[in-house]
Amino acid sequence: MSAQDHNSLLQSTQVVIEQALQRLGYEQDMVDLLKEPLRMLTVRIPVRMDDGKVKMFTGFRAQHNDAVGPTKGGVRFHPEVSEEEVKALSIWMSLKCGIADLPYGGGKGGVICDPRRMSFNELERLSRGYVRAISQIVGPTKDIPAPDVMTNAQIMAWMVDEYSCIREFDSPGFITGKPIVLGGSQGRETATAQGVVMMIYEALKVKGIPLKDARVIVQGFGNAGSYLSKFMHEAGAKVVGISDVHGALYDPNGLDIPDLIDRRDSFGTVTNLFKNTISNEDLLIQPCDILVPAAIENQITEHNAHQIQAQIIVEAANGPTTIEATKIVTDRDILLVPDVLASGGGVIVSYFEWVQNNQGYYWSEEEVMQKLQKLMTRGFLKVYDVHRTKQVDMRLAAYMVGVRKMAEAARYRGWV
């Protein structure tokens, strides 16, 4: 994704934030406070590579707003990470936390690198270097990182170990998404996908569509996309399309999801094993009941929104639908469940992990899922109610619900 795309992502986020605050009756000073992160740290990380040479990496940590409580959000390792992207994602994390009513503001981090081209030891040295570089502004009562794109429980384990060397007395709750043996939560790995499934159930209820044999297309077959396909297949829905970076598979009679999951590689690619593939663009406009963009930004635009054949779009990815496309699909009576609502499962279960770390008592997976269901469903009903009563699209409704608590907290503190 180009720097220009990241800029437009930040700008479109700021546009909707402004609209949401205006609809809630706030003045421009609140817009000025909340349209940018309070803090943005850029760091340089020297890493000794396996060949003995030292390579410099650039990393970022954005803290959007801590009026409600500590900031919270993932760290991504990706060659196209940029300052603008990290800023936009930190704002989205604030909205996710607001919708779920968590005691957090949003944070986000990233390092410009390609983990696929790095050895295990090089990744460890980079992970530890990143923590050392940002250690002054993070911690369990300040800012709590978590996994994101191309980071995982192993990388979180290195990070928590490095942090515990710097600050021994408060280290367990410093980071979430840890391995279970280091204080991770049951259910964290599948939390985002489980949350999306819960939102699909709610959307189906609103539309009056039965789950059994409902036709689902999932764009993206990485962590969230593959789990999502598996859960929908097991629930009796018919997954008719999936895709990865190489292309897409579509079969109106349904795909053999367990077989595809068995055959996918560690980066979520499987379509390269097939000849009869179609493009990602073509997949989005195939007949289905539910379309789940679970890949990258700006997939549904004004150029293809008129051709979408789904009745429901549930955004598992960050920013897959542009502002223009949101208006088009809403006008066509397609129910759009926006990213800041649909993909909130990850941060909710990260919050549960932090709570468990703080109290030293751990819950079963069944308890975690019950609590997740309660918060996700409550969030959906709040957003859908604003959508219906205020006559605004679901994205603006989600932003209005998500930004309200933060704006109130900032006002009580006397910041504006």
The residues that are catalytic are: 108
Q: What token pair was written down for 159?
A: 């990070």
For the chain, how many helices (H) and strands (E)?
14, 11
CA distances to 279, 283, 370 from 158, in Å: 38, 39, 30
Identify the helix (H) or strand (E) that includes residue 272: none
- The amino acid at residue 23 is R
Query: With the C-alpha atoms ordered 289, 245, 95, 72, is the resulting torsion angle positive or negative?
Result: positive
Identify the helix (H) or strand (E) that includes residue 144: strand 143-147
Rg (CA), the chain: 20
Across the beta sheet with 247-250, the strand order is 247-250, 238-244, 215-219, 290-293, 312-314, 335-337
Helices of type H across 184-285 = 191-207, 223-234, 257-263, 280-284
Q: What token pair was written down for 261?
A: 């999951």
What's the rounded Cα separation, in Å, for the pair 410 and 404? 10
What's the rounded Cα separation, in Å, for the pair 368 and 381? 20
Backbone angles phi, psi at 321, to 5 degrees: -120, 125
What's the rounded Cα separation, in Å, for the pair 81 and 84? 9
> What 3-state class would DSSP assign to 281?
helix
Torsion over CA of 402, 408, 409 and 410, rounded to 10 degrees?
100
